[in-house]
Chain A
Amino acid sequence: MSATPKISVRNVAKTYGHMTVLERVNLEVEEGAFCTIVGASGCGKSTFLRMLLSQETPSSGRIELDGAPLPGEPTPDRGIVFQKYSVFSHLTVEDNLILAREFERSRLLGRSFGKGRKAARAEINDTLEKIGLGAARLKYPAQLSGGMQQRLAIAQALLKRPKVLLLDEPFGALDPGIRADMHELLLGLWEELAMTVFMVTHDIREAFKLGTRILVFDKIRHDPQAPDAYGATITYDLPLNRKDAGPPPELAGLAVNADTSTGASA
């Protein structure tokens, strides 16, 4: 493991106009960590993830990736899975998966034809089998179940072998049974590819089950006259041992809160 952390967040704040969403966020994450991020709705955990993706930029402070400032826009070194709209609705399953390869090979149009496309489609056979979509390769995403769509989204996000994988409530809309399958798939891939993972979730049990480290976002400063004056920050940063899955006593109350939250995206 290298001396420089994979991701380092230094005193980051994010404000929209007069509203402070995040403030004084400091974090160092070593390579290969699986960070789960929890917190109440609207506490800025999705904003934090979007900053890691460069979809948004911090209002102050800096974020470093491998010791260098984060690029100003999304790049292939960070993969992303959203809760919705994660795959391309106009492409079939297999075409969703060869898209990255097509971008590499056809610089102008990003489209391959004939033999090149056939070869690219053959290359993804293993991936398709692994995510259980071999039989559905010619279907459009709208014809797939929610779980199948997210399996496709994860596989697609990993095509460029990103060093960091960002997940924004990826299983929020799935049934509990399907969620468990998705957890297996995700953990398997994480171990195989040695990625650093950040995952926002509303499900506290999921956070404890999957993470090697849990980050809890919450507001610690309140001004009753100006509720927007202060933002949330990381209030708990706990290493997790996967063997004794389950929230520690001091977070038991939080677990109840998170379970009853609406599940709306923050």
Chain B
Amino acid sequence: MRIINRKPSRVTSVALTALPFAATIGAYALASHYRRLENPADKLLPSLQQMGETFWRMAFVPDRRSGDLLLWLDTYDSLWRLGMGMGVATILALSLGVLIGFIPHARSALAPYIATFSLIPPITILPILFIMFGLGETSKVMLIVIGTAPVMIRSVSQEVMNIPRELIIKAETLGASVMQMIFRVVLPQTLPRLVNAMRLGLVPAWIFLISAEAIASTSGLGYRIFLVRRYLAMDVILPYVVWITLLAFIIDRLLLLLSKRAFPWHHLGGESL
């Protein structure tokens, strides 16, 4: 049988999923082992055990200077900024996206403006934000908003425009007003795709979060990584990178789960990533 028609069994599927992860960890362990054979104090590729111990210390042993559990403090601060940034970006995307996608006058007024705005590299705005809002939380949240909102707005407005015109006309013949169409047709048809836009927006959101924290912050996952970089503390950096990846993965899966729970009609046809 051709390979495109052969489906892996459940066990094979799990094994295939685990394979590249296991191979990466194995390759790392091997490289680390040989480096430490030559120099037991090697800092670049610490052993898995050493990283585990450091991670444990970051998570469960209070910091000697501040008395905080650093991992949880960093995670909380970073997720708070990410959540605020994504929340504001999502509200902007939904409101402006529906306006642009649904109302031709709003489209003429806003679409070219947003398209222009989205071309500004967000990181170049960071100094302006620091000058305007100071080095506090506002400028970091704003950077995430500026970095993700324009793309999300464009994505949502495109999705609104992609709603089959037949549905809008049908709603008109059923006597719907513009508001009623927005609440009963446009928003329900767009929300599952908004979740998709959020999942895609999370990628740049994490980049801008870590960047902002690296440049000016006193807490957060990005701050910690760039702080310990000075001491070549790979045993902190690598677990933090894995931790950030895990958080991003969990958020992505939660959004997918939310979409499947809240919009079952959207997932009736075919599988999706």
Contacts of B183 in A (CB 8 A): 108-111
B175 and A143 contact, CB distance less than 8 A: no
* A201 interfacial by beta-carbon distance below 8 Å: no
Question: Hey, which bits of chain A sit against chain B, CB under 8 A?
Answer: 53, 55, 73-76, 78-80, 82, 84-91, 99-100, 102-104, 106-111, 140-143, 156-157, 159-160, 162
Residue of B nearest to A78 (CB): B173
Tell me the minimal C-beta distance from B80 to chain A in angstroms: 32
- Give 13 pairs: A residue, B residue, CB < 8 Å, sorted on A: A53-B169, A55-B169, A74-B169, A76-B174, A78-B173, A82-B170, A88-B167, A103-B171, A109-B183, A109-B184, A110-B177, A141-B265, A142-B269
Take A88-B167, A90-B189 as given contacts and tell me if A110 and B184 are in contact as well, using a CB distance cutoff of 8 Å: yes
Tell me the minimal C-beta distance from A265 to chain B in angstroms: 11
Partner of A89, one of B173, B175, B265: B265
B170 and A86 contact, CB distance less than 8 A: yes
Bitwise, B177-217 to A at CB < 8 A (1) or not (0) is 10111011100110000000000000000000000000000
B173 and A79 contact, CB distance less than 8 A: yes
B173 and A157 contact, CB distance less than 8 A: yes
Contacts of A109 in B (CB 8 A): 179-180, 183-184
Partner of A90, one of B166, B173, B174, B265: B265
State the main secondary structure of chain B at its contact with A: helix
- Bound complex: CA A99 to CA B264 (Å): 19
Contacts of B266 in A (CB 8 A): 90
- Bound complex: CA A215 to CA B231 (Å): 85
A86 and B177 contact, CB distance less than 8 A: no
- Bound complex: CA A109 to CA B178 (Å): 10
- Bound complex: CA A74 to CA B179 (Å): 16
Question: Hey, which bits of chain B sit against chain A, CB under 8 A?
Answer: 164-167, 169-177, 179-181, 183-185, 188-189, 263-266, 268-269
Partner of B180, one of A78, A80, A110, A159: A110
- Bound complex: CA A55 to CA B165 (Å): 10
- Bound complex: CA A243 to CA B183 (Å): 48
Contacts of A141 in B (CB 8 A): 265
Contacts of A142 in B (CB 8 A): 265, 268-269
Quick one: which of B170, B171, B179 has the most chain A CB within 10 A? Answer: B170
Tell me the minimal C-beta distance from A225 to chain B in angstroms: 35
Contacts of B188 in A (CB 8 A): 90-91
A108 and B265 contact, CB distance less than 8 A: no
B263 and A90 contact, CB distance less than 8 A: yes
- Bound complex: CA A46 to CA B124 (Å): 52
Residue of A nearest to B268 (CB): A142
Contacts of B269 in A (CB 8 A): 142
Contacts of B185 in A (CB 8 A): 88
Contacts of A157 in B (CB 8 A): 170, 173
Residue of B nearest to A166 (CB): B173
Contacts of A89 in B (CB 8 A): 189, 265
Contacts of A74 in B (CB 8 A): 169, 172-173
Besides the contacts A79-B173, A90-B266, A110-B177, what 6 more A-B pairs have beta carbons closer than 8 Å?
Answer: A53-B169, A86-B170, A89-B265, A103-B174, A103-B184, A109-B183
Residue of A nearest to B184 (CB): A110
Partner of A104, one of B169, B175, B179, B264: B175
Contacts of A90 in B (CB 8 A): 188-189, 263, 265-266
Contacts of A104 in B (CB 8 A): 175
Take A99-B184, A100-B174, A103-B174 as given contacts and tell me if A80 and B169 are in contact as well, using a CB distance cutoff of 8 Å: yes
Residue of B nearest to A141 (CB): B265
- Bound complex: CA A88 to CA B181 (Å): 12
Partner of A75, one of B170, B172, B265, B268: B172
Contacts of A143 in B (CB 8 A): 268
B176 and A140 contact, CB distance less than 8 A: no
Tell me the minimal C-beta distance from A6 to chain B in angstroms: 17
Contacts of A75 in B (CB 8 A): 172-173, 175
A84 and B268 contact, CB distance less than 8 A: no
Take A140-B268, A142-B268, A142-B269 as given contacts and tell me if A107 and B177 are in contact as well, using a CB distance cutoff of 8 Å: yes
Contacts of B176 in A (CB 8 A): 103, 110
Contacts of A76 in B (CB 8 A): 173-175
- Bound complex: CA A73 to CA B175 (Å): 11
Across the A-B interface, give the 10 residue pairs with the lowest CB-CB distance, nearest first.
A110-B180, A85-B164, A85-B166, A74-B172, A142-B268, A140-B265, A100-B174, A90-B188, A76-B175, A110-B184
- Bound complex: CA A88 to CA B189 (Å): 9
